[in-house]
Amino acid sequence: DAGVTQSPTHLIKTRGQHVTLRCSPISGHKSVSWYQQVLGQGPQFIFQYYEKEERGRGNFPDRFSARQFPNYSSELNVNALLLGDSALYLCASSLDYYEQYFGPGTRLTVT
């Protein structure tokens, strides 16, 4: 079975630009969560979606938004990029609420 997939793998953006990251969950998983991992730190929770509804939001500014589609895939959008948004963005899917499986991540570099 395919695991969680994310695209793109890497991307480089300039300050002020917008970025869209994509995630496809494991087949049958209805919940998707997004995390930001800054170099040398543990992942920080950004959003969780279940059945296309937002179930939770971490302590991130409104420049961060997300949505989940009918096929349970998800997008994370970040507007007005800042240098501090440079990080590995991880998507995780889960069947139940607690066992989350992570994708390989998208490495975002903001210059």
Partner 1 sequence: GNSVTQMEGPVTLSEEAFLTINCTYTATGYPSLFWYVQYPGEGLQLLLKATKADDKGSNKGFEATYRKETTSFHLEKGSVQVSDSAVYFCAFITQGGSEKLVFGKGTKLTVNP
Please pick, from the candidates 55, 63, 109, 111, the single residue that binds partner 1 as defined by CB under 8 A: 55
Q: What are phi and psi of 84, to 5 degrees?
A: -70, -10
> In 3-state terms, what secondary structure has residue 83?
helix
Shortest distance in whole angstroms from residue 77 CB to partner 1: 19
Which of residues 28 and 40 has its CB atom nearest to partner 1 in the complex?
40
Q: Is 57 in the site for partner 1 (CB under 8 A)?
A: yes
Closer residue to partner 1 (CB): 25 or 43: 43
Residues 6+ apart with CB under 8 A from 32: 23, 25, 48, 49, 68, 72, 73, 74, 91, 92, 93
* Residues from 70 through 109 that contact partner 1 (CB under 8 A): 88, 90, 92, 94, 97-105
- Rounded-to-integer distance, Cα 46 and Cα 92, Å: 11
Q: Whose CA is closest to 105, among 7, 25, 27, 20?
A: 7
Among 35, 93, 108, 110, indicate the residue that binds partner 1 (CB under 8 A): 35
Q: Which residues bind partner 1 (CB under 8 A)?
A: 4, 31, 33, 35, 40-45, 48, 55-58, 88, 90, 92, 94, 97-105
